[in-house]
Amino acid sequence: MGYDLLETRLGYAFRDGELLKEALTHTTYVNEHRDPGVQDNQRLEFLGDSIVNAVITFRLFAQFPDEREGALTKKRAELINEGALSKIARHISLGDHLLLGRGEEMDQGRDKPSILADAYEALVGAVFIDSSYETVSSIVSGHFDEVFGPMEKISITDYKSLLLEVCQSRYKCLPRIVVVDEIGPEHDKEFVVNVELEGGVVGQGRGRNKKQAAQTACKEALRLLNYPLS
Q: Is 87 helix (H, G, I), strand (E, B) or coil?
A: helix
- Report angle CA 211, 212, 217 to the nearest 5 degrees: 95
Residue 177 contacts residue 98 (beta carbons within 8 Å): no
Is residue 121 part of the annotated active site? The answer reads yes
DSSP codes, 20-58: HHHHTB-HHHHHH---TT---SHHHHHHHHHHHHHHHHH
> Which strand ranges, in their side-by-side order, compose the sheet holding 190-197?
176-183, 190-197, 200-207
Among 22, 49, 78, 118, which one carries the catalytic annotation?
49
Residue 181's nearest CA partner among 194, 192, 195, 197 is 192
Query: If 0-12 CB within 10 Å is exposed, 13-18 middle and 19+ buried, where does residue 30 land?
Result: middle
- C-alpha 26/C-alpha 99 separation (Å) is 6
Contact 124, 51 (CB under 8 A): yes
Distance CA 22, CA 119 (A): 10
Helix (H) or strand (E) holding 89: helix 82-91
Indicate the DSSP class of residue 209. Answer: S
Catalytic-labelled residue, pool 121, 130, 158, 220: 121
Catalytic residues: 49, 121
